Amino acid sequence: MSEEQSVTNNKSIDGVQYKELMNAGLTWLQTNQESVNALNVFPVPDGDTGTNMVLTLQAAYNEISNSSEKSVGALAEKLAHGALMGARGNSGVILSQIWRGFSKGLEKCETISGKCLVEGLKQARDTAYKGVVRPVEGTILTVCKDMAIAAENSLNDTEDPYQILRIITDAAQVSVEYTPELLDVLKEAGVVDAGGKGLMHIFEGMVRFIDGEPLDIEPVHVQPLSVIGQQEALNSAEPGQDYEVIVDFQPDQPLVLENYYEDLEKIGTSIQVGEGDGIYRMHIHVPTEKRYEPIDYTMTLGTITKVHIENLMIQVDSPTGAQPEEPLKLAKVGPDDLGVVTISPGSGFSRIFASLGAAAIVEGGQTMNPSTQEILAAFEDLPTDKIIILPNNKNIMMAAKSAAEVSVKQVEVIPSVTVPQGLAAMLRLIPGQEITDVAKDMNSAINDIESGEITTAVRDVEIDGIDVKEGEIISLHNGKLVGSNKSLEDGCLIFLEKAKAEDLELITMFHGENISREAAEKMTEFIQEKYPDQEVELQYGGQPHYQFIFSIE
């Protein structure tokens, strides 16, 4: 822009216009409130960032909306006072400091010239940084700072405050997008900073007002990529919409979300679209015959990177309740962490161990004892030197001990001889504790639990004075045979009696792969009736041969 132009464009913002702009900023922030709330992942803020910023700015605006004051400097001061009184949450407090600084910069301004606006933003930045005990970059503070810098630089080209508003809004947008590079929690969650985005929306609203664009249109909801998952989809499966389709893609052209949603709505329901790092994720439920349509359609818009199709009805009806397609989520360990390696006799147990923080799982149990080599291989590559092994079976103890001896790592083998003992030990894995302390805790935990196994005898035998006939249901209490019965009910009851379940609190039943979910649920109900004072919980263990494994505590 030439010097001549900048002089002719030398406008200013008067009191009336200032109020209109602030109102526009507030309205646009309100319109975007929920999408700002959805970004709320930073572990410290009070409540929802979008809501808190709206309430703060609303309180601020109320101070000037009916004021007859003409001077912008006086109005800005009133607004700052309102923000201070109405500030809610961390983001609201910082926003109030921004307006406070802004008003200091405008103190002597009857109207806002370009220079006044720049001074206001500089003061806003300085006051905002002072308003926080430990300023963190990658937050609203950074966005405010980048806006102030852009404003200062813009004075070389223009003194038109309207023009400067555009420049700083653009700068805010760039700054918001960059926040994940500065703050790891944002990057991990795949979102931008909520407070920074809220601040950007306020100024964006002003620019939209200047351009005559609408301020109250609900923007299409874009969620952070990470929040779109299968878990929610499972809960919301509707009849007739049998398939869940998730497509990750990179659009060739900037995606017009309104159109995209509109087209998807013709295909299915439960539509969600998320964005992170330039990748979009689309989630939809569709009837069986339309299961490929969302993919074909999305392919016309860009490059598809990943597709996930799942039959929701099978998930819902699954006899085991297990979701076989989903890979195990093992704990990621670093060099300073403890790695727990556990032997698991079934896919259900594997999932439970993984959910409790196991770093490696070796499948094996009664009839399939893993070798020393297999156990060793499971943990040799873990990036830590501190390993705990839970064998969870008498017959695997030796192999586990050999693996410990062969390894150069520091390995503790916990003498857990049942899976419930292994689970009890697993609960003592507390991050940040010494391996010897954890091992000590685990050793005491395994003695604090009653284990039971219910299975069908494969031949006639007499053990511990109990006469067992082939095909009968036999019950083991802490590895010792305690009964042989005709029915599964009696097999469970005899164990519960021997284990003195009536004196304890929680009965957990893990059903095996040889019994249906339905039958297992019936048995759970039966036992709950017999033990009304205890909490009875059913889980899928997935072990072979054993109808039930019991854990009582």
Partner 1 sequence: MSTAIVTDSTSDIPSDLREELSIFQIPVDLTLEDKTYLDGFDLSRNDFYTRLPTLKKLPTTAAPSSGRFQRLYEQIFDEGYTNIISIHAASALSGIYNAARLASLEFEQIIKVIDSEQLSLGLGFQAIQAAKMVQQKLPLNEILNAIQSVKTKVHVFALLDTFEYIHRSGRVSWAKARLGSLLNIKPIVELKNGQVYNRGLARARSKGIQFLGETIRKLGTLEYLSVMHTNALETGKRFIEEFSPLEIPEPLLVNVTTIIGTHVGPNGIGFAAVVK
For position 30 contacting partner 1 by CB under 8 A, the verdict is: no
Interface with partner 1 (CB under 8 A), residue total 49
For position 351 contacting partner 1 by CB under 8 A, the verdict is: yes
For position 544 contacting partner 1 by CB under 8 A, the verdict is: no
CB of 43 to partner 1, least distance (A): 5
Between 92 and 114, whose beta carbon lies closer to partner 1? 92
Interface mask toward partner 1 for 66-85; x: CB under 8 A: ---------------x--xx
For position 537 contacting partner 1 by CB under 8 A, the verdict is: yes
For position 287 contacting partner 1 by CB under 8 A, the verdict is: no
Dist CA 39 CA 176 (whole Å):
12
Please, are residues 419 and 392 in contact by the beta-carbon 8 Å criterion? Answer: yes
Q: Which of 26, 87, 403, 520 binds partner 1 (CB under 8 A)?
A: 87
Segment lying near partner 1 (by CB under 8 A), choices 3-11, 150-158, 348-356, 520-528: 348-356
Interface mask toward partner 1 for 35-54; x: CB under 8 A: -----xxxxxxxxx--xx--
Residue by residue, what is the 3-state secondary structure of 483-500? EEECCHHHHHHHHHHHCC
Dist CA 215 CA 210 (whole Å):
11
Spatial CA neighbour of 365 closest among 329, 334, 394, 336: 394
Beta-carbon contacts of residue 390 (< 8 Å; ≥ 6 apart): 340, 341, 342, 343, 414, 416, 422, 425, 426, 442
Segment lying near partner 1 (by CB under 8 A), choices 86-94, 112-120, 251-259, 333-341: 86-94
For position 428 contacting partner 1 by CB under 8 A, the verdict is: yes
Strands 410-413 and 386-390, how do they pair?
Answer: parallel
For position 361 contacting partner 1 by CB under 8 A, the verdict is: no
Between 221 and 290, whose beta carbon lies closer to partner 1? 221
Beta-carbon contacts of residue 433 (< 8 Å; ≥ 6 apart): 338
CB of 107 to partner 1, least distance (A): 17
CB of 505 to partner 1, least distance (A): 4
For position 132 contacting partner 1 by CB under 8 A, the verdict is: yes
Between 396 and 424, whose beta carbon lies closer to partner 1? 424
Residue 191 phi, psi (nearest 5): -135, 170
For position 168 contacting partner 1 by CB under 8 A, the verdict is: no
Q: Which residues pair with 310 in a beta bridge?
A: 244
For position 220 contacting partner 1 by CB under 8 A, the verdict is: no
SS3 430: coil
Residues 490-509 that bind partner 1 (CB under 8 A): 504-506, 508
Please, are residues 19 and 169 in contact by the beta-carbon 8 Å criterion? Answer: no
Dist CA 482 CA 453 (whole Å):
10
Residue by residue, what is the 3-state secondary structure of 292-327? CHHHHHHHCCEEEEEEEEEEHHHHHHCCCCCCCCCC
For position 331 contacting partner 1 by CB under 8 A, the verdict is: yes
For position 97 contacting partner 1 by CB under 8 A, the verdict is: yes
Between 470 and 537, whose beta carbon lies closer to partner 1? 537
Please, are residues 350 and 328 in contact by the beta-carbon 8 Å criterion? Answer: yes
For position 184 contacting partner 1 by CB under 8 A, the verdict is: no
Between 37 and 158, whose beta carbon lies closer to partner 1? 37
Q: Which residues pair with 245 in a beta bridge?
A: 284, 309
CA distances from 123 to 53, 95, 143, 197, 335 (A): 20, 13, 14, 20, 45
Q: Which of 22, 33, 88, 416 binds partner 1 (CB under 8 A)?
A: 88
For position 329 contacting partner 1 by CB under 8 A, the verdict is: yes
Dist CA 417 CA 479 (whole Å):
8
For position 96 contacting partner 1 by CB under 8 A, the verdict is: yes
Between 236 and 355, whose beta carbon lies closer to partner 1? 355
In the block, tokens 């410990």 appear at 404
For position 225 contacting partner 1 by CB under 8 A, the verdict is: no
In the block, tokens 């809220």 appear at 198
Q: Which of 288, 305, 318, 355 binds partner 1 (CB under 8 A)?
A: 355
Strands 269-276 and 279-286, how do they pair?
Answer: antiparallel
Interface positions with partner 1 (CB under 8 A) = 40-48, 51-52, 81, 84-90, 92-93, 96-97, 131-133, 329, 331, 351-352, 354-357, 423-424, 427-428, 430-432, 448, 504-506, 508, 537, 539, 553
